[in-house]
Amino acid sequence: MSRRKRRSEEHDPHDRWLISYADFITLMFAFFVVMYAISSVNEGKYRVISDSLLVAFRSTPDGLGSAQISISPAAGAGRVVSVPSIAPQPPLIVARPSQENANLRQMREQIRGVAQKIGSVLDKLVKDGQVRIVEGTHGITIDINASVLFLPGDARLNDGAAQALSAVARILAPTVFPITVEGHTDNIPIANPQFPSNWELSGARASSVVRLMIDNGVAASRLTATGYADQRPVADNHQADGRSRNRRVSITVDFKNPDERATVLDVLQNTPNGGKGAVKVSPAQ
């Protein structure tokens, strides 16, 4: 009796495979859910990316031809973004080195002609050692001893100096080159109600020369007045002769500044005959 009861309580284990099958189905479901999540497109992020690409390709550097790019977010999404064609830009024309060198040679020849003309006007002062005309790489510098132009401690041009500088200004007026006028002194201090120091004296002397040039037709936009006091000597200030040389006014005609050089080149290229008739000078006899 007890054996029958024990057998009836024991169940046949044939249905245990259902548990494994259910676990398998659950894992497959989770797998497909993950795959679907990976393959789906975030619409907001895609729009941000496509807009940034549009902006990037609209600012394509000059010289590129037309281009069209299609962006597909995913298979079956059915959205295509097309970038409009980019219009080609005209090529940038750069002056050839030979052309620029020719223009620079032309300007150098003109400045050399100006120097010769000024030398003929100031010939007596040049022979007396009161005026030095120095030709540099990018222009000329005219050093005039201050004793020729001003009384000691004064910034007013004397009559003889005004006549000579007026002739120089009339030579420079038709040209297109920038002009810098520099005032220089020796190292002996000056102190009076009009000029508290050599800085004021040197600046006032340079300004007097600039005003005279403007009065004689030189464009004010081409002129610069600068005072250096005793900071740029050309001789030894411990000797009387050196101090005399340091008291001077320097007139520099040049095109060494890149912006000024570009302006001069542009003027020469737009002048009939390439600017050859801009300044008519004859060599000094």
Residue that wins the pLDDT comparison between 100 and 105: 105
Measured between alpha carbons, how far is 165 from 173 in angstroms, rounded to an integer? 12
User: Token pair for residue 82?
Assistant: 């097309």
Q: Quote the pLDDT of residue 92.
A: 54
Segment 44-73 shows an average pLDDT of: 58
Tokens of 201: 């004296």
Which stretches does DSSP call E strand in the chain? 70-71, 81-82, 131-135, 139-145, 179-184, 223-227, 248-254
Phi then psi dihedrals of residue 281, to 5 deg: -130, 160
The two structure tokens encoding residue 218: 């030189």
Q: Which of 74, 68, 69 is nearest to 43 (CA)?
A: 74
Amino acid at site 173:
A
- Taking residue 154's Cβ as centre, other Cβ atoms within 10 Å add up to 16
Confidence of residue 102 (pLDDT cuts 50, 70, 90): confident
Provide the CATH topology of domain 97-275: 60s Ribosomal Protein L30; Chain: A; (3.30.1330)
b/e code 119-145 from CB counts within 10 Å (16+ = b): bbbbeebbeeebbbbeeeebbbbbbbb
* Pick from 102, 255, 250: nearest CA to 175: 255
- Does 187 have pLDDT greater than 50? yes
The model's pLDDT over 193-232, given as tens digits with 9 standing for 90+, comes to 899 999 999 999 999 999 999 999 999 999 999 999 999 9
Give the pLDDT score at 239: 93
Least confident of 71-80, 245-254, 266-275, 276-285: 276-285
Q: Is the pLDDT of residue 14 over 80?
A: no
Number of other CB atoms surrounding residue 106 within 10 Å: 15
Q: Say which DSSP state 91 is in.
A: P
- The whole-angstrom separation of Cα 108 and Cα 165 is 22
CB–CB of 256/236 below 8 Å?
no
Instruction: Give the residue, 178 or 92, on which the prediction is more confident.
Output: 178
Which of 41-50, 69-78, 248-257 is least confident?
69-78
- For tokens 């004397």, the residue is 158
Considering the entire predicted model, what is its pTM?
Answer: 0.57
For residue 62, what is the DSSP state? T
CA 245/CA 235 separation, integer angstroms: 6
**pLDDT at residue 280 is higher than 90:** no
Give pairs for 65-73: CB < 8 Å, separation 24+. Answer: 73/41, 73/46
Residue 268, amino acid:
L
Give the domain ranges of the chain: 2-82, 97-275
Percent helix, strand and coil across the chain, each to the nearest 5: 50, 10, 40
